[in-house]
């Protein structure tokens, strides 16, 4: 079956424009039929991953473990055959070197209806800014021929590839994690009191007999999410369990939390999206009255990439 696409509803767009948060689940299967680097840009083009940096790292849930191809070229493709049709409406890339961002003038997502990328091939620009030091985001995925002016939701997509094109000479791209996300748009900010600035870390202290404290830091500056979400109408009531069962895979997989999806989609000022993992992989979603439920979500940013990335 061919992929399809449709513009995201005006209601969702209005809530996004009002900076209401988004829960974003990974749409890429944990074990796709194929993932690999090659210059042909096809499923049959083989895998030219560097032996120490396999392509599977792009979807392993650990953004600090990079993947890269084995040589420098003008064009590289990270090719996926998901093995089944997936649905996405958000693109996020995390990890990679600052040098790489400055030498690639084109980062695109391309989808098609065959592994040779000859049937119904379209290009969805991602766009790269060197100011986006830790996270690249395309929160408004849309190809040139699409009707409308805002984000599209792409459904039943089996074949996709990321294209990296160097603007000068050749280069060797690096990626920590690729998220093709299915967003669940919340209607409200979390219930107050709510702290959208909580940052945590892991440390080990030793205090000498003279009273001097020595601290060894394992990671720091990780985003800590502790929020109560209270949907009271559809589709928001159904979105939480749908997010948990499908892309969140019953609490096993990391997810993206977009705090301010309109004013800071890339997290340049710290309020954008973060790659998170639930502290307890349970869905507890009790009724509060006849129409309202409460979802208490507690999650931490997936480290230890935070310790490295904030110092790029």
Torsion, Cα of 298, 301, 303, 305 (10° steps)? 180
pLDDT given at position 308: 44
Fold of 4-184: Jelly Rolls (2.60.120)
C-alpha to C-alpha distance for 281 and 276, rounded to whole angstroms: 12
Q: Residue 185 to residues 94, 123, 177, 246, 262: CA-CA distances in angstroms? A: 21, 25, 22, 15, 12
pLDDT given at position 199: 85
Beta bridge partners of 206: 214
pLDDT given at position 203: 87
- CB-based contacts of 98: which residues, under 8 Å, 6+ apart? 130, 133, 312
What is the pLDDT averaged over residues 274-298? 91
**Chain segment 204-234, per-residue pLDDT in tens:** 999 999 999 999 887 777 889 999 999 999 9
Q: Which two tokens stand for residue 271?
A: 């309020």
Identify the sign of the CA torsion 194, 195, 200, 206.
negative
pLDDT given at position 191: 93
Q: Which two tokens stand for residue 52?
A: 């120490």
C-alpha to C-alpha distance for 261 and 135, rounded to whole angstroms: 13
Q: Residue 258: CA atoms inside 13 Å, Cβ hemisphere, count?
A: 33
pTM comes to 0.89
DSSP-derived pairing of the beta strands 152-166 and 135-138: unpaired
What is the pLDDT averaged over residues 104-114? 85
Q: Which two tokens stand for residue 48?
A: 């030219």
Confidence at 145, pLDDT banded by 50, 70, 90: confident
Q: Which helix (H) or strand (E) holds 83?
A: strand 75-88
pLDDT given at position 97: 57
Confidence at 98, pLDDT banded by 50, 70, 90: low
* Full strand arrangement of the beta sheet holding 177-185: 135-138, 90-94, 177-185, 22-26, 255-258, 273-278, 295-301, 213-229, 199-207
pLDDT given at position 172: 86
pLDDT at 55 over 50: yes
Return the percentage of the chain with pLDDT > 70, whole number. Answer: 88
pLDDT at 15 over 90: yes
| CA nearest neighbour of 153 among 165, 141, 169, 135 | 141
Confidence at 102, pLDDT banded by 50, 70, 90: low
Neighbour-count burial for 21-40, b at 16+ CB within 10 Å, e otherwise: bbbbbbbbeeebebbbbbee
**Chain segment 220-275, per-residue pLDDT in tens:** 778 899 999 999 999 999 999 999 988 788 888 999 999 988 887 765 544 568 88
**Chain segment 157-207, per-residue pLDDT in tens:** 999 999 988 777 788 888 889 999 999 999 999 999 999 888 888 889 999
- What residue spans define the domains of the chain? 4-184, 199-309
Torsion, Cα of 81, 87, 90, 95 (10° steps)? -30
Query: How many beta carbons lie within 10 A of that of residue 209, not counting itself?
Result: 5
pLDDT at 9 over 70: yes
What is the 3-class SS of 189-229, one letter each residue?
CCCCCCCCCCEEEEEEEEECCCCCEEEEEEEEEEEEEEEEE
Confidence at 105, pLDDT banded by 50, 70, 90: low
Confidence at 128, pLDDT banded by 50, 70, 90: low
């Amino acid at each position: 079956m061919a992929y399809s696409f449709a513009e995201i509803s005006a209601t969702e767009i209005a809530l996004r424009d009002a900076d209401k948060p988004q829960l974003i689940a990974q749409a890429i299967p944990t074990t796709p039929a194929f993932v690999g680097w090659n210059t042909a840009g096809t499923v049959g083009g083989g895998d030219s991953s560097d032996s120490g940096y396999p392509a599977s790292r792009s979807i392993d849930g650990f953004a600090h473990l990079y993947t890269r191809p084995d040589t420098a070229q003008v064009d590289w493709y990270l090719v996926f055959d998901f093995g089944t049709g997936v649905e996405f409406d958000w693109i996020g890339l995390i990890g990679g070197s600052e040098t790489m961002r400055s030498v690639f003038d084109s980062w695109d997502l391309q989808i098609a209806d065959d592994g040779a990328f000859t049937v119904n091939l379209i290009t969805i620009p991602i766009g790269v800014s060197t100011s986006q030091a830790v996270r690249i985001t395309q929160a408004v995925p849309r190809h040139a021929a699409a009707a409308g002016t805002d984000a599209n939701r792409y459904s039943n997509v089996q074949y996709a590839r990321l294209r990296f094109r160097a603007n000068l000479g050749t280069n060797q791209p690096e990626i920590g994690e690729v998220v093709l996300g299915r967003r669940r748009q919340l209607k409200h900010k979390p219930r107050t009191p709510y702290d959208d600035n909580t940052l945590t870390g892991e440390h080990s202290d030793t205090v000498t007999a003279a009273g001097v404290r020595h601290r060894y830091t394992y990671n720091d500056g990780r985003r800590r999410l502790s929020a109560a979400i209270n949907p009271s109408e559809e589709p928001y009531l159904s979105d939480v369990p749908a997010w948990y069962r499908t892309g969140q895979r019953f609490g096993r997989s990391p997810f993206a939390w977009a705090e301010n999806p309109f004013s800071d989609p890339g997290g340049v000022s710290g309020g954008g999206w973060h790659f998170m993992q639930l502290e307890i992989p349970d869905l507890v979603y009790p009724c509060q009255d006849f129409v309202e439920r409460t979802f208490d979500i507690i999650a931490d940013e997936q480290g230890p990439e935070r310790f490295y990335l904030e110092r790029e």
